[in-house]
Amino acid sequence: MTNNLFQNFISKRVAVILLIVLVALISHSYNAFHFPYYEADEGTYMSQAWSVVSMGKLAPHTYSYDHAPAGWILIALWSKLTMGFSTFGFSINSGRALMILIHIASSLLLYSIAKRLTKSEVVGLVSALLFSLSPLAIHDQRRVLLDNIMVFWVLFSLFLAIGEGRKLRHFMLSAVAFGIAILTKEPAIFFLPGFLYIVFKNSQLNIRRFAVFQWFAIVLAIVSVYFLYALLKNEFFQSGTFLGGDAPHVSFVETMKYQLSRDGGFFLSPDSDFRSNLKFWLGREYGDPIIIVMGILSLFIVSVLSFFYGRLRVAALLSWLYILYLIRGGNVIGFYILPLLPFLALNVAICVKAILIYFERWNSKRFGVAAVLLFLSPFLVYYATHTDIYTKDQTSGQIAAVEWMHENIRENAVVLIDNYAFIELNSVPGNFYYYWKAERDPEIKANILKGDWRNVDYLLATPQMTSDIADADLELTKNAYMNSSSVKRFEDFGWYVEIRSVN
- 219-270 pLDDT, tens per residue? 999 999 999 999 999 988 888 887 777 777 888 888 888 888 888 888 889 8
The whole-angstrom distance between residue 23's C-alpha and the CA centroid of its chain comes to: 20
Question: What is the pLDDT, as a whole number, of residue 267?
Answer: 85
> Could you tell me the residue ranges of all domains in the chain?
2-391, 396-502
The torsion angle over the Cα atoms of residues 100, 104, 109 and 114, rounded to 10 degrees, is 120
- Rounded to two decimals, the pTM is 0.94
d(CA 228, CA 234): 10
d(CA 419, CA 429): 17
d(CA 454, CA 331): 33
The whole-angstrom distance between residue 283's C-alpha and the CA centroid of its chain comes to: 20
H helices, E strands: number in the chain:
23, 5
Is the CB of residue 223 less than 8 Å from the CB of residue 183?
A: yes
CA angle 417, 421, 426 (to 5 degrees): 90
Question: What is the pLDDT, as a whole number, of residue 482?
Answer: 95
User: What are the E-state strand segments in 334-482?
Assistant: 414-417, 431-434, 458-461
Is the CB of residue 134 less than 8 Å from the CB of residue 382?
A: no
Question: What is the pLDDT, as a whole number, of residue 144?
Answer: 97
d(CA 139, CA 35): 8
Question: What is the pLDDT, as a whole number, of residue 363?
Answer: 76
Return the DSSP state at 265. -
- 57-112 pLDDT, tens per residue? 999 988 989 899 999 999 999 999 999 999 999 999 999 999 999 999 999 999 99
User: Which of the residues in the chain have pLDDT under 70?
Assistant: 1-10, 428-430
Give the type of residue at 208: R
Return the DSSP state at 451. T
How many CB atoms are located within 10 Å of the residue 363 CB? 9
